[in-house]
Amino acid sequence: MKIEFLGKSLSGPFTVPSGIVTCSANIIQRFFNQIPEVGVLTTKSIGPEPRLGYREPVLSQFEPGSFTNAVGLTNPGADRSAELLKGLVIPKDRFLLISIFGGNVEEYVEVAKKLALYGDGLELNLSCPHAKGYGMAMGQDPALVREIVAAVKTAVDVPIIPKLTPNVPNIDEIAQAAVAGGADGICAINTTNPECYEAHGHPILSN
C-alpha cells in the first residue's frame, strides 16, 4: 500500500508517534530497516537543553488496555540529538518527523534550526501536560500557537506539524490558529490529563 504524505510516497500507512519507543536513533533505524508497514516515525520530543524528566514509574495501566504516562520530556538536548540523528539513513519511502519543544518562541526556532536538516519535517510539541513551562503551557493560547508556528515556518524549509493538547475547551480555535500560522498538518492529540486517582502504598507515577 502506497501512501502520499507531504511530498513523499510512503511504504506503509502506519505511524509510530513521539514517545519512549522512538527515543533512540538505533531503534528508529531498525524500524526503517525492518518494518516497511510503518511509513512515519516521530522522535521523542527534543528541547534546547538536556532534560532528565521524571524517574520511574512513568507508565501506569489503570484499566486493561488503558494506559497513562508522565515521562517529563526526557531528552539529551538539541546539540546531542543532532549528533545522533545525523547518522540515520532514512529510506526514500519513509518520513521522519522530529518532535521539538521550547519554553518560548525563540527556543522553538533555535531547536528547529539545529534539527530540521536531519528529518523530513518537524512536529511542534505544544501539548505535553507533564512539564511545567513547556508543551501544553505553550499550546493553550491561539495567538501564541500561531506565533510559534509562523516563526518556525519562517526559520526552516521543512513541513511543520503542531501537536495539539486535548486538555483545553477550544482545540478547534487552536487548530485554526496553527493553520493560520502556516502549519502543513495537525497532529491531534497528545496525552490527556490524569483521569483517575488511586490510593496505594507506592506511587502509580513518580510525579
pLDDT tens digits, 178-198? 999 999 999 998 877 766 666
Residue with cell 538536556: 50
Q: Which of 23, 128, 187, 196 is catalytic?
A: 128
Domain boundary assignment for the chain? 3-188
pLDDT band at 205 (very low <50, low <70, confident <90, very high): low
Check if 196 is active-site.
Answer: no
Name the more confident of 170 and 2.
Answer: 170
For the segment 44-97, what is each residue's pLDDT rounded down to a tens digit? 999 999 998 767 777 777 778 877 777 778 899 999 999 999 999 999 999 999
Partners of residue 17 on adjacent β-strands: none
Cβ 80 vs Cβ 109: under 8 Å = no
Q: Residue range 120-125: average pLDDT?
A: 98
Partners of residue 123 on adjacent β-strands: 99, 161
- The top-level CATH class assigned to 3-188 is alpha beta
Average pLDDT, the chain: 91
Nearest Cα to Cα of residue 127 among 18, 5, 14: 18
DSSP assigned state of 200: -
Neighbours of 80 (CB within 10 A): 13
